[in-house]
């Protein structure tokens, strides 16, 4: 199927230097969401029509962003929707039908497009199938005028040209259609710009199809929001909330407990086991997986990470597995672990079962063994930490020498006191104890006590300073 996606508009009402179709819905550009849906159609040949800031739009889909399967057509100047589709004609395969979509209508479901495509395929020569929608207030939309049988569409009448009876019609045109390609190519060549705007309107193909004896029929989506477009930031925000509510409803249907379905943001893929609980204000980005019985506290951000069964992530934690799906950066939290509140796990953090990471503790590119705890105000970076280790408050791994990163290795059952500095590269052997306030810059043998020599002086003749008046 030829799929034409119109993405050439200026989007003046967005008041932004970013092209309208690149504004995000749930973390992905609107145009990307339309393309994702189109790719689900068998044999989709996708042609994106660009115009205003077209190079910026095309660049957004080059290289790692994906887009090798896309064909690009340029509409310059912009002379209406019919003129835009006409620019895609050189890319058409006449043996396939053609679907027209819009880069600023991002929530149309694949089920709706399949139904529209099937309707167009009826009859030996095919029909012109239009997606329409019923609205309580159709003001500003082109009305669908049906024939006496109530099935065939005789015309699409713009509001300014409609009679009082036609303005009372609640069924309106969405602009999405599927047509026999050879016929569409001919209709596009016959469009007229004899109107106040001197533009070529795609809606005129309805009259041309009727004139040529081609059937014109319609179907409607299951949900009106599937056809809603974005012209300003208010509409963008409205569709964002609609998308998120759809995500929340899907999670609820799978048995996930949401404290408030209106206060969750899924900007990627969220996979949940049974008996998962998510509190308010949490954000999930990229590929996130929550095991059975996992509990996510309020205002948590999780990106590209897995949280094991029975693990608990307390309020205001940030778990960041990096951008994209790089397996090396992905964060792994083991079963029964407790994270936070106010903890930060950075790319490459891998925590074993039962690990405790407390308030204001940061872990980066480090593996922590089963049952290890770092409960207060510590930094663990570029480290391999064994099982059963206790890290005291204020401990840091000094992993950067100003030019290169170095690793710290800590064996099983090590006890590290408060305010310890581990200067990498360094190894602390299993079963060792590091005294409070110690700076460790040499390897520590297993089973050792390591302290820095210290002198404590108490002076009885000392007087506390007094504030001068």
pLDDT greater than 70 at residue 279: yes
% of residues, the chain, pLDDT over 70: 98
**Residue 303: strand pairing partners:** 285, 320
Residue 130 pLDDT:
96
Average pLDDT over residues 345-356: 98
Q: Residue 10: is the preceding peptide bond cis (ω within 30°)?
A: no
Mean pLDDT to the nearest integer, 231-256: 98
pLDDT surpasses 80 at 64: no
**Which pLDDT belongs to residue 468?**
87
pLDDT band at residue 400 using 50, 70 and 90 as cut-offs? very high
Give the C-alpha separation, 407 to 80, whole Å. Answer: 61
In the predicted structure, residue 196 carries a pLDDT above the cut 80: no
Other Cβ atoms within 10 Å of 71 Cβ, number: 17
| Domain regions of the chain by residue span | 2-227, 237-450
Mean per-residue pLDDT, 147-170:
90
Higher-pLDDT residue of 431 and 63 is 431
Q: Give the pLDDT score at 362.
A: 98
Pairing of strands 171-180, 97-102: antiparallel
3-state helix/strand/coil string of the chain: CEEEEEECCCCHHHCCCCCHHHCEECCEEHHHHHHHHHCCCCCCEEEEEECCCHHHHHHCCCHHHCCCCEEEEECCCCCCHHHHHHHCHHHCCCCCEEEEEECCCCCCCHHHHHHHHHHHCCCCCCCEEEEEEECCCCCCCCEEEECCCCCCEEEEECHHHCCHHHHCCCEEEEEEEEEEHHHHHHHHHCCCCCCCCCCCCCCHHHHHHHHCCCCEEEECCCCHHHHCCCCCHHHHHHHHHHHHHHHHHHHHHCCCEECCCCCEEEEEEEEECCCCEECCCEEEEEEEEECCCCEECCCCEEEEEEECCCCEECCCCEEECCCCCCCCCCEEECCCCEECCCCEECCCCEECCCCEEEECCEEECCEECCCCEEEECCEEECEEECCCCEECCCCEEECECCCCECCEEECCCCEECCCCEEECCEEECCCCEECCCCEECCCECCCCEECCCCCCCCCCCCCCCCCCC
Q: Which residues are part of the catalytic machinery?
A: 376
Averaged pLDDT, 86-100: 96
Sheet strands (E) in 28-180: 28-29, 45-50, 70-74, 97-102, 128-134, 143-146, 153-157, 171-180
Q: What is the mean pLDDT of residues 325-344?
A: 92
Mean pLDDT value of segment 428-445: 97
Q: Work out the average pLDDT over 12-37.
A: 96
Lowest mean pLDDT among 25-39, 184-198, 297-311: 184-198
* Contact between residue 259 and residue 40 where contact means Cβ atoms under 8 Å apart: no
What are the start-end ranges of the E strands in 411-453? 415-416, 421-423, 426-428, 433-434, 439-440, 449-450
Kindly list the distances between the CA atom of residue 352 and the CA atoms of 92, 210, 337, 370, 411, in Å, as whole numbers in the listed order: 55, 68, 8, 5, 14
The continuous run of DSSP H or E covering 186 comes out as helix 181-189
Mean pLDDT in the chain?
94
pLDDT the model gives residue 392: 98
pLDDT in tens, 27-45: 999 999 999 999 999 999 9
- Confidence bin at 65 (pLDDT 50/70/90): low
**What pLDDT is stored for residue 455 in this prediction?**
84
Per-residue model confidence (pLDDT) at position 124: 60
pLDDT tier at 121, thresholds 50, 70, 90: confident
State mean pLDDT over 414-434.
Answer: 98
* Helices 181-189 & 204-211 angle (0-180, nearest 10): 110
236, 22 contact by CB (below 8 A): no
226 falls in which pLDDT band (50, 70, 90)? very high
Long-range CB contact pairs, 426-433, < 8 A, 24+ = 430/386
Q: Are 300 and 315 in contact (CB under 8 A)?
A: yes
Average pLDDT over residues 212-238: 95
237-450: in CATH 3.40.605.10: no
- pLDDT at 335 > cutoff 90: yes
Query: Which of 10, 16, 58, 56 has the alpha carbon at shortest distance from 35?
Result: 58
CATH value of 2-227 in 2.40.30.40, 3.90.550.10, 3.40.640.10, 3.40.50.720: 3.90.550.10
Element (H, E) at 165: helix 164-167
Picking from 428, 411, 430, 429, the residue whose alpha carbon sits closest to that of residue 420 is 428
Express as a percent the part of the chain with pLDDT over 90. 86
**C-alpha dihedral (44, 48, 49, 54), degrees to nearest 10:** -170
Q: Any idea how long the chain is?
A: 469
Average pLDDT (236-251) is 98
- List own/partner pairs for 66-73 with CB under 8 A and 24 or more apart: 69/39, 70/35, 70/46, 71/45, 71/46, 71/47, 72/47, 72/48, 73/47, 73/48, 73/49
In this predicted model, which residue has the larger pLDDT, 375 or 459?
375
Average pLDDT in the 441-465 region? 91
Highest mean pLDDT among 58-62, 117-121, 406-410: 406-410
pLDDT at 63 > cutoff 90 = no
In 3D space, the residue among 48, 66, 153 whose CA is nearest the CA of residue 103 turns out to be 48
Q: How far is CA 95 from CA 2, 49, 91, 92, 110, in A?
A: 10, 21, 12, 9, 22
**Residue 66: per-residue pLDDT:** 63
């Amino acid at each position: 199927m030829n799929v034409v996606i119109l993405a050439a508009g200026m989007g003046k009402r967005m008041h932004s230097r970013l092209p309208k179709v690149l504004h995000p819905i749930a973390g992905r550009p609107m145009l990307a969401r339309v393309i994702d849906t189109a790719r689900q159609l068998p044999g989709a040949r996708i042609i994106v029509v660009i115009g205003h800031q077209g190079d910026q739009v095309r660049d957004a889909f080059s290289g790692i962003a994906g887009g090798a399967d896309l064909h690009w057509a340029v509409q310059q100047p912009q002379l209406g929707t019919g003129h835009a589709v006409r620019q895609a004609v050189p890319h058409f395969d006449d043996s396939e039908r053609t679907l027209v979509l819009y880069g600023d209508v991002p929530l149309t479901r694949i089920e709706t497009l399949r139904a529209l495509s099937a309707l167009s395929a009826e009859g030996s020569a095919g029909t012109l199938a239009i997606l329409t929608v019923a609205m309580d207030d159709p003001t500003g939309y082109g009305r669908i005028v049906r024939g006496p049988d109530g099935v065939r569409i005789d015309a699409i009448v713009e509001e300014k040209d409609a009679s009082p009876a036609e303005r009372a019609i609640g069924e309106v045109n969405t602009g999405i259609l599927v047509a026999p390609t050879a016929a569409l190519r001919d209709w596009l060549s016959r469009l007229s710009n004899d109107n106040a705007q001197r533009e070529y309107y795609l809606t005129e193909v309805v009259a041309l199809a009727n004139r040529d004896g081609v059937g014109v029929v319609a179907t409607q989506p299951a949900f009106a929001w599937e056809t809603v477009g974005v012209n300003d930031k208010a509409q963008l925000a409205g569709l964002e909330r609609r998308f998120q509510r759809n995500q929340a409803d899907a999670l609820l249907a799978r048995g996930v407990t949401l404290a408030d379905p209106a206060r969750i943001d899924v900007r990627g893929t969220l996979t949940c086991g049974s008996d998962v609980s998510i509190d308010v204000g949490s954000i999930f980005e990229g590929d996130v997986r929550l095991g059975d019985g996992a509990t996510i506290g309020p205002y948590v951000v999780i990106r590209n990470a897995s949280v094991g069964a029975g693990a608990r992530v307390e309020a205001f934690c940030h778990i960041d597995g990096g951008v994209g799906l790089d397996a090396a950066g992905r964060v792994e939290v083991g079963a029964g672990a407790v994270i936070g509140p106010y903890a930060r796990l950075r790319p490459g953090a891998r925590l074993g079962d039962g690990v405790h990471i407390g308030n204001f503790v940061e872990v980066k590119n480090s593996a922590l063994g089963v049952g290890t705890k770092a409960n207060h105000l510590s930094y663990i970076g570029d480290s391999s930490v064994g099982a059963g280790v206790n890290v005291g408050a204020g401990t840091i791994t000094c992993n950067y020498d100003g030019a290169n990163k170095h690793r710290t290795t800590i064996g099983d059952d090590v006890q590290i006191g408060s305010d310890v500095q581990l200067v990498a590269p360094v190894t602390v052997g299993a079963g060792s104890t590091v005294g409070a306030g110690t700076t460790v810059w040499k390897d520590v043998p297993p089973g050792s006590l390591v302290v820095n020599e210290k002198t404590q002086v108490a002076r009885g003749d000392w007087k506390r300073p007094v504030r001068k008046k």
